[in-house]
Homo-oligomer: A and B are copies of this chain.
Amino acid sequence: MPEQNRQFIFASRPVGYPKESDFNIVTSPMPAPGDGEVLVRTCYLSVDPYMRGRMRKAKSYAASLEIGEVVLGGTVGQIVKSKHPDFQEGDIVKAYLGWQEYGIAGGEAVQKVNPSLAPISTALGVLGMPGLTAYFGLLETGRLKDGEHVLVSGAAGAVGSTAGQIAKIKGCRVVGVAGTDEKVKHVVNDLGFDDAINYNSVTDFDSKLQQVCPDGIDVYFDNTGGPVTDAVFLNINVRGRMAICGQISQYNSQETELGPRLLWQLIAKRARVEGLLVSDFAERHEAGLRQMGEWVQTGKLKYRETITEGFENAATAFISMLKGGNIGKQLVKVSEPE
C-alpha cells in the first residue's frame, strides 16, 4: 500500500460548464482507520449530474460542496484495513468516499457488495443510486400503470435508460429522447424502446412529440428539462404525470433560463408535475434492489457503462458526462479489485 493518497479537491465554483481547473489533485498522507472504521481503496468512482448542483452556492436539499473539500460522490472499493468487526480486508463495499484513491468510513456508512451477483461497478449504476432513482421515480412519483404511454428524456443516461426499460417491463409504449443518433439507436436497438428522437435534430418539439407519441403522454420521466419538457406540457394526457428527476439542461446556466409559461396546460389536463429524490425512498431501497437484481440477472434489464480509466481523469469524465459524452452510466475506474 502506498504511503500517500491522492484526492480531487474542489478548487473553484464553476461558471457555466465546469473546467478541469475547477478541481485540483492533491497528495496527502494515507489515512488510518480508527475503531469502528475501515480504510477502502477505490475501484470505481461515480460522476453524476446531481454533483453539479452541489457545486453551487445555493440553498438546496443538501449542503453545498465547499472550496477545499474533497469532491463528493459514491464509490465502490475494496477494504484494505478494517477496525470494524463486520468487515474484513478484501471485502468489496459501496461507500460515499468521493473522488479519492483511498478513504476512511465508519462501518455504518459502507455496504457490502456481492461480486458474484453482478460486476461490482453496477453498485454505482443500474443496481445503485441511478437504478433506484429510475425505479422509484417511475413507479412511485410517476405512478406508472401497466400499458401507459411513456416518454423519457436523457434516455441513454444511467437513469433514463433504466426508467425506459422498467416501463417496457410494465408493458408500456416507451419513447426516448437523447442527444445523438448513436444514443437513439442504442435505446431502440439494444434496450427495446419503441421509438426515440435525437433532440439535436428537432426544431419543433411540439410537432415531433405529436408524431412520435400519437396517443399523447401519460408519464414523462424527465432528466433534462428545457424545450423537450416544454413540449411535454402540450402533449401530456389528462391525469398525466411528469416525474422531475433531473434538469441537466439547466445545471450549467449562470442565469435562470427563460422558457414559455405553460402551467395553464396543467389545468386542462389535470396533470401533475412532481420532483423526486431517491433518498426519500431509502427504507424501500433494499426491496427495489432485489427486484432490479432479478431483472438484471434474467436479462430483462440491460445496462451499459462508459468507463474512463485512471483516477486523474475524474474531472474530465465528470465534464464529459455533463455534456452528454456518455452512454449509460459514466464511471471512473481507479483500481482493480484483488
Chain B residues lying within 8 Å of A277, measured Cβ to Cβ, are 267-268, 270
CB closest chain-B residue, reference A60: B268
Query: Closest residue to A245 on the B side, CB-wise?
Result: B267
Which residues of B have CB within 8 Å of A262? Answer: 256
- Residues A258 and B261 in contact in the complex (CB < 8 Å), given A266-B244, A267-B245, A277-B267: yes
* Closest B residue by C-beta to A229: B263
Q: List residues of chain B with CB within 8 A of the CB of A257.
A: 260-261
Asked whether, in the complex, the Cβ of A275 is within 8 Å of the Cβ of B271, the reply is yes
Q: How near does chain B come to A177, taking the closest CB pair, in angstroms?
A: 15
Q: Contact between A244 and B267 (Cβ–Cβ < 8 Å)?
A: yes
Interface size on A (CB < 8 Å)? 37
Within 8 A of B (CB), among A246-268: 246-247, 250-251, 256-268
Q: Does A6 sit within 8 A of B, measured CB to CB?
A: no
Partner of A246, one of B260, B267, B271: B267
Stoichiometry, as copies per complex, reads: 2
Task: Tell me if A280 and B270 are in contact (CB < 8 A).
Answer: yes
For A53, the chain B residues whose CB sits under 8 A away are: 264, 268
A275 touches B280 (CB 8 A): no
What residues of chain A have their CB less than 8 Å away from a CB belonging to chain B? 53, 60-61, 222, 225-226, 229, 238, 244-247, 250-251, 256-277, 280
Closest to A239 in B: B280
Contact of A268 among B61, B245, B261 (CB under 8 A): B61
| A257–B262 CA distance with the chains assembled, in angstroms | 9
**CA of A257 to CA of B230 in the docked complex: distance in angstroms?**
13
Q: Is there an interface contact between B261 and A226, defined as CB atoms closer than 8 Å?
A: yes
Q: Which residue of B lies closest to A249 (CB)?
A: B261
Which of the residues B250, B256, B263 comes within 8 Å of A273, measured between beta carbons? B263
B276 touches A264 (CB 8 A): no
Q: How far is the CA of A271 from the CA of B141 in the complex (A)?
A: 11
**Bound state CA distance, A261 and B253, in angstroms?**
11
Nearest 6 Cβ contacts at the A-B interface: A266-B275, A267-B275, A247-B264, A256-B260, A61-B268, A272-B274
